[in-house]
Structure 1
Amino acid sequence: MAGQEASGDPALRRTLSVWSAVGVSVALMAPSMAVNINPQGTAAAVGRAVPLAFLLATVGVLLIAHTFVRLAQRFSHAGSVYAFVGVTLGPRAGSVAGWLNAGTYVFFGAVTATAAGIFLTDLARKVASPNELPDWVAFVSGWLVLAAVWWLAAREIKGGATVLLVTEGLTVMLILVVAAITLGKVIAGHTPGGQHLDMSVFSVAPGTSVSTVFLGIVFGFLSFAGFEAAATLGEETEAPRRNIPRAILGTALFGGMFFVTVTAIEMMAFGTDSAGVAAFAKSDALMGDIAEQYVAPWLSYVIVVGATFSAAACCLASVVGASRLLFALSRDGIGPAALAAVHPRRNIPHVAAAAAVAAVFAIQAIGWVALRARPFDVFSIAATAGTLILLVAYALATLGAVRLLFLARDTQIRKSEVILPLLGLALLGYTLYRNVIPWPHGSAVWGPCLAVAVLVLVVAGVLARPVAAREAGVKLIAQQGF
């Protein structure tokens, strides 16, 4: 920060507490939204073994969290992965990781704005107009949510982060209450369709290969995506090298316990037979449907409303994360100079935030108008593309951690810890491999194709500007005090 101020570069101020950082990470992870709409994508690939896929995703995320914790203990920068990788593997690799991470947050903005629209449309159909509302209403509803996100993103994040954390916390508590009641009825056998306690949800069904689980694990990683978002507030959080690692690790641990437990209850509540799995995959809001069947119909409306707020909060956190990355990249000369502007009173990169919102809108509009895709198709395509490029950025950060912490002379870290990032790399690598080999067909091809296209464009763009990358590397070193 001192280096930035001395050089005249735009700088952010440290005004956020550890809870603000937790708020952004939890909001971007959006657990109450995720358990309502992400497991359906996993079920399409792995059937009843959704909780198993989420358990494997939890292991992978905790291994990755180790990397982010160790790097955040040494670096505090609005560029997050861009800074982590840039300092450890070099400015070109850092630039690639930074643009990929920014792209991920933009894709997730489209995912969550669309999810909010889907939830609102589902609620309207249940309450007022069953079977009368066309699918495109979800896009329009999502754009109304996106407009509210733009308004909030153009203001200081401190108050917004508190609202994000409180809203998400209340919805998560309600989901846990419904899950506990549902589990009690499943154990007691008081279920609408003869469902019962069935631990087969942690195993693959006959005829399904174990490797297929790694096709469904993408939606598990998607549910966790953003757990590291606190790192983008490294220049705005007090005592960042202590508080940011706490926020990252705490969010990952909570997410793992929540997702594995709730998805297991969800699958058992729907039933592990073919009919139950099919109904599970077709649900527009899993916990809303479970609340309607197992607790009280009116409670399903409350949960869907809560999931809508969760999706909107996640969209806001996505825009916040993307804007900080765009700001950091542009401040160092790798992006347009206009995106490095900081509002003089509100202490936020307002131009970068507007650019992120515009990109989210463009993804949804292209999906609807050009591809004629349904809202859930846009959700799935953007989710797959965003998650795959995020895994590449995670892999680069993990490689950087191995080089810095274990190959260099760092006496603060036990060398035996190297097994953790290496295991993380293996899991990331196999997940990426399994999702592109064999190359998918039909509608499933759009997500991987889009991810490959973004990766190629980012790498080509960075390689075309070697001088800018070198200058950015010099700035990164100076900013971190090396």
Structure 2
Amino acid sequence: MSNNLKKNAISLPGAIAMSIAIMAPAAGMMFVPQVVAQYAGSSVPLVYFIALIGSLFVANTIVQFAKRITHAGSFFAYNSAGLGQTMGFLSGWLLMSGYFVFYPQNILVASFFSSQIITQHLGINIHWSLFSIFFIVIIWYLSTRGISSSMKADLYFVGAEMLIILIVVFAIVLQGGADGHTFEVMTAKGSPSGWSGIFFGMIFAMMTFMGFESAATVAEETSDPKKNIPRAIWGSVVGMGLFYIIVTYSMSIGFGSQNGDEFAKSILAMDYLASTYVGDWLRIAVAIAGIVSAFAISLALNNAAVRVIYTMGREKVFPSKLGITHKKYATPVHAINAVGILTTIIALLMGFIFGPYPVGYGMLGSFGTLPILLLYVLASISLIMFIRKNHRDEFSLWSHGIAPIIGALVMLLPIYGSIFPFPSWPYNLVLTLVLVYILVGFILGLVLKRKTQNLVQDVNKIISSDGSEKL
């Protein structure tokens, strides 16, 4: 056993796959746009456009850090360097919650639809919980053997699922949708509650962008990380952002610019559009793409969560055993085991209490979104402090001042929309639990302040060196 991850295990395509797999293009476009439409009507593409703009500013913040700090803890290290030990711990706490919650969330949706498809097409009734356990075991096996094989699997999954979605998109675009092409869906006219609906819809749209930053969690295992991690982050945000806008535009015109209510009521909108514009034969392929995408994002989320926990164990913020790697595979085996066990418990509890989909899926998604949005805001503030303190001669008014502020302000919009007005049951419970979780993290950060001092000292060493030293 050691406490070092395997160097150069991941190339640039693998780092890109890490981010894109967590963003889950197929699952995101199958399960989320119709939720956004409940608030934004047919103006869903506009919501995704604004979310893309905000994500680009946040990406700038992460890239500026990634150029200077190579660390598997990503935000844990970034915000420790810029805001101090307590906020560094809180950042790792928030990041962990998002990855931890989104992992079982996608296990639930993959399991639910696997069970449904097997029952509908083969007449075999296999309970969703058995699929959950099966998927978690496969992910545990792949991640234990090495992240390289995990990233290759994710890359293949992402390519296949995006191809299937694009078939539906091209069919809608070529046929002109229900009422022809229109720019109206890129304005607020389609939103039944105007701009307030647009901003509230961003809460859910940001769910599909979250994860682009996850390439930073494999920085210690990526070749030439200070170049390839920024490239992976920019490539993921721009590429997937354009993909989302194109897909949601086709979905909006597919239902019709005046039929946002029908869009919102469609539980499986992509499935319906595939049948309407291509044929029933494609519905099965779309359903399988959603399952594969949910599995791929679960695999990537597992890798990201494991590395955050491993880093916090290595820095002795969590039990030091979590910071030990496998002697043969150089993978954080104890962190992998911990994540697998906790994910199994969360997925089964939520699934049996609230049902795997849509309530269990939606509640876990809501719980994971707010902490990550807050994390983006903290990182934007941290960058300004970090550069002014450690790289004052490199300070750029745009890159290190204006851009982070804009990114923070855009991320505050969905946070505000999720609190005011206070949501009804069961999402008021989710919001309350999120607030309690954040408070607990802040208190723990104060209690463990001395234990994170080693991390801060290490960060100070790397930012004052020529960059050849790795954390």
TM-score (norm 1): 0.90
Match of 2:150 among 147, 160, 163: 160
Equivalent residue runs for 1:252-263 within 5 Å: 252-263=237-248
Q: How many Å apart are 1:279 and its aligned residue?
A: 5.1
Match of 2:174 among 176, 179, 184: 184
Secondary structure of 2:145's counterpart equals coil
Q: How many Å apart are 1:289 and its aligned residue?
A: 2.5
Task: For 1:199, give the aligned amino acid.
Answer: F
Q: Which residue of 1 aligns with 2:363?
A: 381
Please say if 1:88 is aligned against 2:58.
Answer: no
Change (3 A) 1:88 1:455: same
Q: Which residue of 2 aligns with 1:436?
A: 419
Q: How many Å apart are 1:299 and its aligned residue?
A: 1.6
Equivalent residue runs for 1:200-215 within 5 Å: 200-204=184-188, 205=190, 207-215=192-200
Q: How many Å apart are 1:349 and its aligned residue?
A: 0.7
Distance in 1 separating the partners of 2:191 and 2:37: 15
Match of 1:318 among 298, 301, 322: 301
Please say if 1:65 is aligned against 2:59.
Answer: yes
Distance in 2 separating the partners of 1:411 and 1:377: 51
Change (3 A) 1:198 1:280: farther
Distance in 1 separating the partners of 2:374 and 2:413: 12
Q: C-alpha offsets along residues 331-365 of structure 1, whole Å, 9 cap, x if unaligned?
A: 11111112111011111111112212222222222
Change (3 A) 1:267 1:314: same
Q: Which runs of 5+ in 1 are unaligned?
A: 1-7, 188-193
Residue range with higher mean Cα deviation, 405-414 or 73-82 = 405-414
Task: For 1:448, give the aligned amino acid.
Answer: L
Residue range with higher mean Cα deviation, 138-147 or 340-349 = 138-147
Residue range with higher mean Cα deviation, 172-181 or 309-318 = 172-181
Task: For 1:277, give the aligned amino acid.
Answer: D
Q: Which residue of 1 aligns with 2:201?
A: 216
> Conserved in 2, the CA contact under 8 Å of 1:341 and 1:349?
yes
Residue range with higher mean Cα deviation, 408-417 or 240-249 = 408-417
Equivalent residue runs for 1:5-20 within 5 Å: 10-20=4-14
Q: Which residue of 1 aligns with 2:38?
A: 44
Q: Which runs of 5+ in 2 are unaligned?
A: 466-471
> Conserved in 2, the CA contact under 8 Å of 1:333 and 1:468?
yes
Residue range with higher mean Cα deviation, 119-128 or 56-65 = 119-128
Q: Which residue of 1 aligns with 2:469?
A: none
Q: Which residue of 2 aligns with 1:3?
A: none
Please say if 1:21 is aligned against 2:15.
Answer: yes
Equivalent residue runs for 1:102-251 within 5 Å: 102-124=96-118, 126-129=120-123, 137-186=127-176, 194-204=178-188, 205=190, 207-251=192-236
Q: Which residue of 2 aligns with 1:293?
A: 276
Distance in 1 separating the partners of 2:137 and 2:32: 24
Q: Which residue of 2 aligns with 1:329?
A: 312
TM-score (norm 2): 0.92
> Conserved in 1, the CA contact under 8 Å of 2:48 and 2:245?
yes
Change (3 A) 1:9 1:142: closer
Q: C-alpha offsets along residues 257-305 of structure 1, whole Å, 9 cap, x if unaligned?
A: 000110111122123445x634544323x32332122112112211221
Secondary structure of 1:411's counterpart equals helix
> Conserved in 1, the CA contact under 8 Å of 2:42 and 2:191?
no
> Conserved in 2, the CA contact under 8 Å of 1:108 and 1:386?
yes
Q: Which residue of 2 aligns with 1:191?
A: none
Secondary structure of 2:30's counterpart equals helix
Q: What percentage of aligned pairs have identical amino acids?
A: 24
Q: C-alpha offsets along residues 69-101 of structure 1, whole Å, 9 cap, x if unaligned?
A: 111010110001111111111121111101210
Q: How many Å apart are 1:122 and its aligned residue?
A: 4.1
Distance in 2 separating the partners of 1:365 and 1:481: 47
Q: Which residue of 2 aligns with 1:390?
A: 372
> Conserved in 1, the CA contact under 8 Å of 2:38 and 2:264?
no
Please say if 1:302 is aligned against 2:285.
Answer: yes
Q: C-alpha offsets along residues 438-472 of structure 1, whole Å, 9 cap, x if unaligned?
A: 21112222332232122122112111222213233
> Conserved in 2, the CA contact under 8 Å of 1:118 and 1:376?
no
Q: How many Å apart are 1:328 and its aligned residue?
A: 0.5
> Conserved in 2, the CA contact under 8 Å of 1:267 and 1:277?
no
Q: How many Å apart are 1:9 and its aligned residue?
A: 5.1
Residue range with higher mean Cα deviation, 111-120 or 219-228 = 111-120
Change (3 A) 1:271 1:145: farther
Distance in 2 separating the partners of 1:206 and 1:350: 48
Q: C-alpha offsets along residues 395-440 of structure 1, whole Å, 9 cap, x if unaligned?
A: 1111111112356653335323321111111111222122112211
> Conserved in 2, the CA contact under 8 Å of 1:138 and 1:375?
no
